[in-house]
A and B are shown apart, each in its own frame.
Chain A
Amino acid sequence: MGNKAMLLDFWPSPFGMRTRIALAEKGVKYEYKDEDLSNKSELLLAMNPVHKKIPVFVHNNKPVCESLIIVEYIDEVWSKDKPLLPSDPYLKAQARFWADFADKKVYESGARIWKTKGEEQEKAKKDFIENLTILVQQLGDNPYFGGDTFGYVDVAIIPFYTWFYTFEMAGNFKVEESCPKVIEWAKRCLQRESVKALPDPIKVYDFFLELKKMLGIE
């Protein structure tokens, strides 16, 4: 049985970052392909015809799409070491819930900060901090969302940290002032090799400025 693995990705994407972290945590060897999203490859369009988006994890020529689905897939295939999801069904359901919350509420409001101005932006900032606060309450006294160990929810959320600087610059605020616990948690995660390998937040901000120029946003 072959074990060919390839990741179609785009370096600043927080969704792609999730899959990179999961693969690194499991020690999976894979080929990384950075896509030019303004000129998507034939391979990407063939592997994700429905959404035409990254990340796509191609394992033995079979594609898996959607970042959280990919992370679960990786966890199920490379199941021997470093489990990312808990084995208990209830805890698993909780983990999936909070990862979904991170997408639908935290990321959504964060992205709104750079997409809007004035009153709308103020609301976006408020929502973002509120949602982050709710999320961070789940930590309790634990070092990670996964409890004692770095897990699925940590993998799902830590990539957004690389975008905090961008949100802060766009919205003129500091996450640490309103939600110091999330920065504390992020710095803890940054001790891990898999997270250290994530892009520098400044580089992400530079990319964002280029993107704004390209899209003609002020």
Chain B
Amino acid sequence: MQEIKVYGVWGSPFSRRVEIALKMKGVEYEFIEEDLENKSDELLMYNPVHKKIPVLVHNGKPVVESSLIMEYIDETWKQNALLPTDPYDRAQVRFWAKFIDDKIMASVGAALLSKGGDISKAKEEMQELLTVLESEITKNKLFGGDKVSFLDIIGLFVAYWVPIVQDILGNHVLTRDKFPGIYEWADVLLDDAFIKKNLPDKDKLIPILRSRFGVKP
């Protein structure tokens, strides 16, 4: 009997990745919603180093860091593979996943969410990084070709969350006219029936993010 738990936050792109990966494999799990202002003892026990969500606990053993969790899921449940089998292709996927997570995410934070620092420089950097992503994206319909794959799931942050955050803050760096390739990919991805069903509903997400960013409705 398998026991699978996911500690996450409903609106978080990171815990969503894990849920989507599990659902794509048809794996049943229990979702435990964390209050980040009041983290549970279990969360602190399972992720003592970073104390962050998401955490996947598989038969009592914790795996942390969303992209590592996704690799773990792909290696444990082999149906509907998320990563390619060829080592070179896998290295490319890992490279772009790291680019999105380490570079793009940090720049989105600096350009859109931070109150201090050189905002115009941060926005410029975000533009530059998105331009790199744009050139990589226009090679295929989805990163996985015709199917939703690892990199598409990682990229949901850019496809779904960034436009919503930009609308809330009235601050737009990622735009359809500047980045048609990214929007084209996002359109295909967000139109996928499975993805549509498994993203947090916009109407519910917006007020949550508004309150998190301290923006009045």
- Name A's B-contacting residues (CB within 8 A): 50, 59, 62, 64-66, 69-70, 72-73, 76-77, 89-90, 92-93, 96-97, 100-101, 134
Q: Is the CB of B71 within 8 A of A93?
A: yes
Query: Closest residue to A135 on the B side, CB-wise?
Result: B49
Interchain CB contact (< 8 A) of A96 among B71, B90, B99: B71
Q: Is the CB of A73 within 8 A of B91?
A: yes
Instruction: Among A70, A92, A97, A100, find the residue whose CB has the most chain B CB atoms closer than 10 A.
Output: A97
Among B2-10, B58-66, B168-176, B185-193, the one that faces the other chain is B58-66
- Name B's A-contacting residues (CB within 8 A): 49, 58, 61, 63-65, 68-69, 71-72, 75-76, 87-88, 90-91, 94-95, 98-99, 132
Are A97 and B91 also in contact (CB < 8 A) when A69-B98, A89-B75, A89-B76 are? Answer: no
Q: Is the CB of B72 within 8 A of A93?
A: yes
Q: Is the CB of B72 within 8 A of A90?
A: yes
Query: Closest residue to A92 on the B side, CB-wise?
Result: B75
Q: Is the CB of A72 within 8 A of B76?
A: no
Q: Is the CB of A89 within 8 A of B95?
A: no
Q: Is the CB of A90 within 8 A of B63?
A: yes
Give the secondary structure class of A's interface. Answer: helix
Q: Is the CB of B94 within 8 A of A89?
A: no
Q: Is the CB of A92 within 8 A of B91?
A: no
Are A50 and B99 also in contact (CB < 8 A) when A90-B58, A90-B61, A93-B69 are? Answer: yes
Q: Is the CB of B132 within 8 A of A50?
A: yes
Q: Is the CB of B94 within 8 A of A62?
A: no
**Complex interface: chain B residues within 8 A of A72 (CB):** 90-91, 94
**Complex interface: chain B residues within 8 A of A62 (CB):** 88
**Docked complex Cα distance between A65 and B96 (Å):** 10
**Complex interface: chain B residues within 8 A of A50 (CB):** 99, 132
Query: Closest residue to B136 on the A side, CB-wise?
Result: A50
**Docked complex Cα distance between A69 and B93 (Å):** 10
Query: Closest residue to B99 on the A side, CB-wise?
Result: A50
| Besides A69-B98, A97-B68, 19 other A-B contacts (C-beta < 8 A) | A50-B99, A59-B88, A66-B94, A66-B95, A72-B90, A73-B88, A73-B90, A73-B91, A76-B87, A89-B76, A90-B61, A92-B71, A92-B75, A93-B63, A93-B69, A93-B72, A96-B65, A97-B64, A134-B49
**Complex interface: chain A residues within 8 A of B98 (CB):** 66, 69
In whole Å, how far is B138's beta carbon from the nearest beta carbon of chain A? 15
**Docked complex Cα distance between A90 and B132 (Å):** 33
**Complex interface: chain A residues within 8 A of B71 (CB):** 92-93, 96
Q: Is the CB of B68 within 8 A of A77?
A: no
Q: Is the CB of A100 within 8 A of B68?
A: yes
**Docked complex Cα distance between A69 and B99 (Å):** 12
Query: Closest residue to B56 on the A side, CB-wise?
Result: A93
Q: Is the CB of B68 within 8 A of A96?
A: yes
**Docked complex Cα distance between A73 and B94 (Å):** 10
Q: Is the CB of A92 within 8 A of B65?
A: no
Q: Is the CB of B72 within 8 A of A97?
A: no
